[in-house]
């Protein structure tokens, strides 16, 4: 949005418009969903002025009013479903990972959480006919897990028919059996994955804000951002805030981080995929003692919660633990060199 349109809002002159744009408030909608405190702190605007600007933006963008259930249903038709390319898992999730939602995947080390994020960074780029969303990926890496070599494996592991479609769509000459063409295709996939390594929890929170800016820059391009992967969401928070005395501060920061991610998903029709670490509950005498960390803050923020569990060999159990409109259930997949595959 050009800056002169922001100046149509009451109390916004050229200098204030510059401050808003520099701090990521580039549209009426992004201003409308901000809080006065947030705008005051980030854009150096008085809280009273920020409140007036936000209220005017809400009125201009028609945000914040009531609407009928039929209208909500119509708007939900815009939500995309990102396929896992595994029918059993897609059926479990009602078609795949939803945009405008947070999907949390948790499990023990080696259960395949990072494999899921890598696979979705590939799948999101596929055509809609092949279960993708025809978009790019932002990958926030807090545990040094991102491996471009793994993306290479997974691209090569796609069905030949899908590979041929992608080569045609990206105007790469050759066939799936042509090594040079395959290398060009792998490079094309890697070009649409934007990776940043988070060094601590504050840096991770900052990267979520930067991700919103990047999504805004790509919104009108051929490759809009359609998934943000955070692997893992909780590692830094868990390491930096130790003991009950720091639990409240940790949860407050985690809550803000989750709401930043939620806002990004809503504004740009993006899927948010986060991985989470687990802890063992010593009080559990029956059943699986494994619990996701992050407490109720993360439990309430996640729209879909998926528990990955190791099975025999390369098999993994995908269990849907919580979803607003789907029944709990389980599916089986395999984690192989070529990526995530059906049983």
Q: Which residues are annotated as a binding site for ATP?
A: 107-114
Residue ranges of the annotated binding site are 107-114
Q: What is the CA radius of gyration of the chain?
A: 21
Which two structure tokens, joined as six digits, stand for 143? 């545990």
What distance in Å separates the CA atoms of residue 217 and residue 206, rounded to the nearest whole number?
A: 17
């Amino acid at each position: 949005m050009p800056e002169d349109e922001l100046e149509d809002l009451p109390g916004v002159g050229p200098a204030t418009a510059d401050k808003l744009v520099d701090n990521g408030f580039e549209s009426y909608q992004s201003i409308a969903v901000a809080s006065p405190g947030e705008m005051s702190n980030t854009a150096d605007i008085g809280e009273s002025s920020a409140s007036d600007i936000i209220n005017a933006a809400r009125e201009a963008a028609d945000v914040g009013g009531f609407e009928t259930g039929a209208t909500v249903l119509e708007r939900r038709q815009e939500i995309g479903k990102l396929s896992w390319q595994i029918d059993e898992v897609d059926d479990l999730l009602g078609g795949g990972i939803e945009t405008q939602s947070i999907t949390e995947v948790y499990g023990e080390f080696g259960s395949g959480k990072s494999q899921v994020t890598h696979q979705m960074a590939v799948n999101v780029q596929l055509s809609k006919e092949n279960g993708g969303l025809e978009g790019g990926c932002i990958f926030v890496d807090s545990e040094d897990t991102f491996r471009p070599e793994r993306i290479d494996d997974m691209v090569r592991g796609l069905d030949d028919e899908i590979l041929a479609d992608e080569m045609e769509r990206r105007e790469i000459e050759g066939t799936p059996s042509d090594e040079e063409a395959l290398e060009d295709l792998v490079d094309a996939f890697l070009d649409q994955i934007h990776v940043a390594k988070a060094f601590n929890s504050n840096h991770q929170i900052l990267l979520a804000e930067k991700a919103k800016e990047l999504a805004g820059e790509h919104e009108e391009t051929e490759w809009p951002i359609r998934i943000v992967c955070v692997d893992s969401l909780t590692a830094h928070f868990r390491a930096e805030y130790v003991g009950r005395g720091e639990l409240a501060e940790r949860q407050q920061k985690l809550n803000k981080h989750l709401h930043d991610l939620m806002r990004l998903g809503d504004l740009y029709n993006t899927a948010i995929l986060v991985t989470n670490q687990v802890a063992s509950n010593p009080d559990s005498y029956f059943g699986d003692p494994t619990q996701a960390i992050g407490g109720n803050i993360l439990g309430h923020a996640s729209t879909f919660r998926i528990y990955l569990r190791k099975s025999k060999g390369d098999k993994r159990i995908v269990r849907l633990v919580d979803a607003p409109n789907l029944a709990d259930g389980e599916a089986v997949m395999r984690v192989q060199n070529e990526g995530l595959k059906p049983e």
